[in-house]
């Protein structure tokens, strides 16, 4: 790409990185704008990524590339796979960091509250499924589009993948290409509100409930691991930052996440998110093996958590924006908004008044039940404690399995 009359030339991956960091700088600036105490935070990066994708880029399905509008594809194309790499690396860094941060308190918290988090997750996903069926049966939304909207509304990549896999067993082969595109479009349309809606929700609810933040924080931080750890100075560290155990957790997580379990007409796997989250949780729970420390530096984990979230939002946002205007319809956007709002609001009310979870346990469970990675980052900033990640981690696996099953059921039930 030649800039400033050909004086400056930036091409290939370098151009992609140039765009990514422009998005990051502008996105964080947008995220800092606060209106009555509410801000987008890191989700501002996602909004800017979508806008830049929509304004300056377009899709080319034949070459699987996005390209700058008004230019030659052969000169300025960027493979979507490059952006997918950015997205996946960001996701891996974020969820592994969350696993390590939540790990020391996770299992003791899970022992106390597993039933509550499991119930909350199931309620959220079943409400999402019921809303989807309502959009199909009453509002007349196409079933394949509706399932794509559901996966986007819950920001669930596993549900998105499972929906596409299930199409192969429910529809004739000659229809698959068109139907997979329809699921993809639905996912992209609903994903915007799925991200921003939950991010704003976890900021608004403490204000609506007029919560005492310090008091609510004490309720979630008063968790005892129930174990005596060795002093860090007594342990052998492979490196000063703890990069070695962090890398080990990623390797184990990717292997575990890749295991496929047969489930009905398709298969289920934890995927990158679930595998790396689980590996981080388990390794952090032990903290050390003998005299070998497997606990990364806390400041490094916080840096990776934020940097990973930023990369994830950029990688997902730019290609999403490139196709957003092409396929966007107001009614689809509204259906997706319903699929986000109804499970989230009703789930919060049930968790507050029936399950009786404290506020930050409730909101942490909501972010996990909605499988919303960006909202967890925002909630950590709102609560000013990493311990909300334990609630997210407890609710997330149940929601992950449930949303895959619900998506498969809807596609099979409404197959034509």
Average of per-residue pLDDT values in the chain: 83
Task: Give the tens place of pLDDT for each residue, 347-404.
Answer: 999 999 999 999 999 999 999 999 887 788 889 888 988 888 888 888 887 887 788 7
Q: What whole-number distance in Å separates Cα of residue 64 and Cα of residue 66?
A: 7
Please tell me whether residue 282 adopts helix, strand or coil conformation.
helix
* pLDDT tops 60 at residue 224: no
Q: Which residue has the higher pLDDT, 339 or 406?
A: 339
Helix 176-208 to helix 143-153 angle (10° resolution) is: 40
- Domain boundaries along the sequence of the chain: 2-413
Task: Give the tens place of pLDDT for each residue, 288-339.
Answer: 888 888 889 989 998 998 899 899 888 878 877 777 776 678 999 999 999 9
* pLDDT tops 90 at residue 64: no
Q: Which of 333, 316, 377, 378 is nearest to 52 (CA)?
A: 316
Residue 335 belongs to what H/E stretch?
A: helix 330-353
- Tell me what percent of the chain is helix, strand and coil, each rounded to the nearest 5: 75, 5, 20
| 185-210 average pLDDT score | 88
Q: What is the pLDDT of residue 221?
A: 54
């Amino acid at each position: 790409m030649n800039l400033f009359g050909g004086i400056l030339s930036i091409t290939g991956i370098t151009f992609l990185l140039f765009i990514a960091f422009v998005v990051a700088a502008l996105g964080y600036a947008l995220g800092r704008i606060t209106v009555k105490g509410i801000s987008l935070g890191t989700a501002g990066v996602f909004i800017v990524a979508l806008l830049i994708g929509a304004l300056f880029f377009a899709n080319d399905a034949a070459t699987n590339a996005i390209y700058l509008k008004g230019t030659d594809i052969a000169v300025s194309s960027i493979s979507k796979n490059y952006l997918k790499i950015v997205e996946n690396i960001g996701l891996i860094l974020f969820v592994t960091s969350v696993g390590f941060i939540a790990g020391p308190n996770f299992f003791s918290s899970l022992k106390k509250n597993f039933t509550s988090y499991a119930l909350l997750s199931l309620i959220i996903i079943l409400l999402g499924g019921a809303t989807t069926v309502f959009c199909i049966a009453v509002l007349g939304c196409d079933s394949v589009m509706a399932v794509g909207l559901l996966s986007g509304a819950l920001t669930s990549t596993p549900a998105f993948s499972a929906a596409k896999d299930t199409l192969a067993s429910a529809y004739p082969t000659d229809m698959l290409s068109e139907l997979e595109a329809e699921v993809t479009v639905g996912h992209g349309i609903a994903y915007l509100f799925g991200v921003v809606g939950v991010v704003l929700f976890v900021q608004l609810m403490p204000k609506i409930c007029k919560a005492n933040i310090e008091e609510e924080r004490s309720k979630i931080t008063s968790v005892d691991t129930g174990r005596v750890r060795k002093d860090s100075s007594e342990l052998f560290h492979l490196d000063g930052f703890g990069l070695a155990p962090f890398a080990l957790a990623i390797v184990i997580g990717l292997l575990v996440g890749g295991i496929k379990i047969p489930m009905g007409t398709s298969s289920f796997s934890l995927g990158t998110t679930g595998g790396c989250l689980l590996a981080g949780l388990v390794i952090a729970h032990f903290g050390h093996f003998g005299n070998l420390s497997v606990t990364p530096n806390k400041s490094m984990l916080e840096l990776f958590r934020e940097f990973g979230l930023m990369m994830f939002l950029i990688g997902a946002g730019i290609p999403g924006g490139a196709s957003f205007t092409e396929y966007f319809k107001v009614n689809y956007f509204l259906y997706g908004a319903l699929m986000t709002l109804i499970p989230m609001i009703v789930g919060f009310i049930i968790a507050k008044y029936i399950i009786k979870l404290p506020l930050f346990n409730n909101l942490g469970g909501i972010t996990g039940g909605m499988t919303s990675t960006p909202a967890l980052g925002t909630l950590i900033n709102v609560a000013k404690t990493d311990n909300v990640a334990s609630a997210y981690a407890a609710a997330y696996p149940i929601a992950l399995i449930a949303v895959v099953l619900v998506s498969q059921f809807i596609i099979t039930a409404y197959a034509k």
